[in-house]
Amino acid sequence: MSKVPELGELVIGRITSVKDYGAYVAVDEYPGYEGFVHVSEISLKWVRNIRDILREGQRNVFKIIRVNPETLQIDLSIKKVSQREKVEKLLEVKKKSKVVRVMELFEKEAGKNAVQKVYAMESDPLKLYDLFEKIAGGVGVSEVLAGLTAQEAEVLQRLVTQEIKRREFVVKADIVLRCEDARGVEAIREAALAAEAAAGVGEVVEVKTKGSPTYMLAVKASTRERASELYETALNKLSEVMRRYKGICEPIVKEKQRPRHVQS
């Protein structure tokens, strides 16, 4: 077997048999190996009855803690998997299944040759998912689809948009925009346009009135970090323009806004 499990690796497995001392697991990533999770590796708390926690057919995220390539045995742990690791692993599995789904549909409509062209561009399913997410968001579409014919590109773009929803993170806060200058209305309009121009492809910056002098600044981006960065950039753009007109731009909520995940 060419691929050997690695210590510390996260895997997905299905419980095949539950005993008093532990449970046997069929590991998705390593079908030739037999996985086993000892009762002491199930929970940080004392396990009174293992069957209250694990049952046959149940799927879970495990961490590999020992490997024996000679006997094809893998010792696994559930308690050593953090909540964050579990979420990230499940998201990884979801992304891979989405790629498989898109490529299956693409093969039916465009043929195997078109599928081979896509895999020639990128064979890693997670990186391919990132490319698909760009297509879904309208970012760099021509570059990603450059190796396909016009008809193949149209089919792939339609399928990707249909199957993959682009993630969005939102940061919003109320702000005060005030200018006593005779050109106050012009200043606020110019400041809003400057802030909205800070958005990149697939991003959104909006400045909406809630009743002068209170406005709402809202931004949307594909990552939590980028949403926070874009919010700060837009706020700085607003401040720069308002200062030129001797006006003010002040966030009503002073603390840094936490991005909110609105779609996955």
Residue of 184, 192, 189 lying closest to 247 (CA atoms): 184
Say yes or no: 201 and 236 in one domain.
yes
243 and 217 co-located in one domain: yes
Of 33, 51, 81, the one marking the end of a domain is 81
Whether residue 194 contacts residue 217, with contact meaning beta carbons closer than 8 Å, is answered with no
Give residue 122's pLDDT: 87
Quick check: is 1 in a domain?
no
CB within 8 Å of 154: residues ≥ 6 apart: none
Asked whether residue 224 is domain-assigned, the answer is: yes
The CATH number given to whatever domain includes residue 212 is 3.30.70.1130
Q: Are residues 256 and 172 in the same domain?
A: yes
Helices 83-110 and 150-163 sit at what angle, rounded to 10 degrees? Answer: 140
3-state secondary structure 115-164: HHHHHHHCCCHHHHHHHHHHHHCCCCHHHHCCCCCHHHHHHHHHHHHHHC
Task: Say if residue 196 is in the same domain as residue 121.
Answer: no
Total structural domains within the chain = 3
Decide: 28 and 12 in contact? Cβ < 8 Å. yes
Residue 51, phi then psi, degrees to nearest 5:
-75, -10
Residue 3 lies in a domain: no
**Residue 17 sits in the same domain as residue 58:** yes
Asked if pLDDT for residue 223 goes beyond 80, the answer is no
Residue 54: CB atoms within 10 A of its CB come to: 22
- Residue ending a domain, among 57, 81, 105, is 81
Q: Considering the domain boundaries, does residue 110 fall inside one?
A: yes
Per the model's pLDDT, the better-predicted residue between 205 and 164 turns out to be 205
Of 135, 163, 191, which closes a domain? Answer: 163
Which DSSP letter does residue 222 get?
A: S
The confidence band for 258, taking pLDDT boundaries of 50, 70 and 90, is low
Q: Residues 193-209: pLDDT tens digits?
A: 999 999 886 688 999 99
Whole-angstrom Cα distance, residue 37 to residue 63? 10
Residue 133 inside a domain? The answer is yes
Range of the domain at 30: 10-81
For the stretch 90-123, pLDDT in tens is 989 999 999 999 999 999 999 999 999 999 888 8
Residues 156 and 172 in one domain: no
pLDDT in tens, 127-162: 898 888 878 877 666 777 788 898 998 999 899 988
Q: Which residues contact 118 (CB under 8 A, 6 or more apart)?
A: 103, 106, 128, 147, 148, 156
Give CA–CA dist 81/87, Å, rounded.
Answer: 10
* β partners of residue 34: 26, 73
186 and 111 share one domain: no
Establish if 64 belongs to a structural domain.
yes
Instruction: Sort strands 168-178 and 248-251 into parallel, antiparallel or unpaired.
Output: antiparallel
Residues 182 and 198 placed together within one structural domain of the fold: yes
- Looking at the fold, whether 123 and 73 belong to one and the same domain comes out as no
Identify the CATH number of the domain in which residue 24 sits: 2.40.50.140
pLDDT at 260: 56
- Considering the entire predicted model, what is its pTM? 0.61
Both 118 and 174 in a single domain? no
Whether the pLDDT of residue 264 is over 60: the answer is no
Instruction: State yes or no: pLDDT of 83 exceeds 70.
Output: yes
Query: What does the pLDDT read at residue 1?
Result: 45
Are 147 and 234 within one domain?
Answer: no
178 lies in some domain: yes
Check: CB of residue 166 under 8 Å from CB of residue 224.
no
Distance CA 205, CA 40 (A): 51
In a domain, 30, yes or no: yes
Output the pLDDT for position 171.
92
**Which residue is listed with tokens 């700085």?**
236
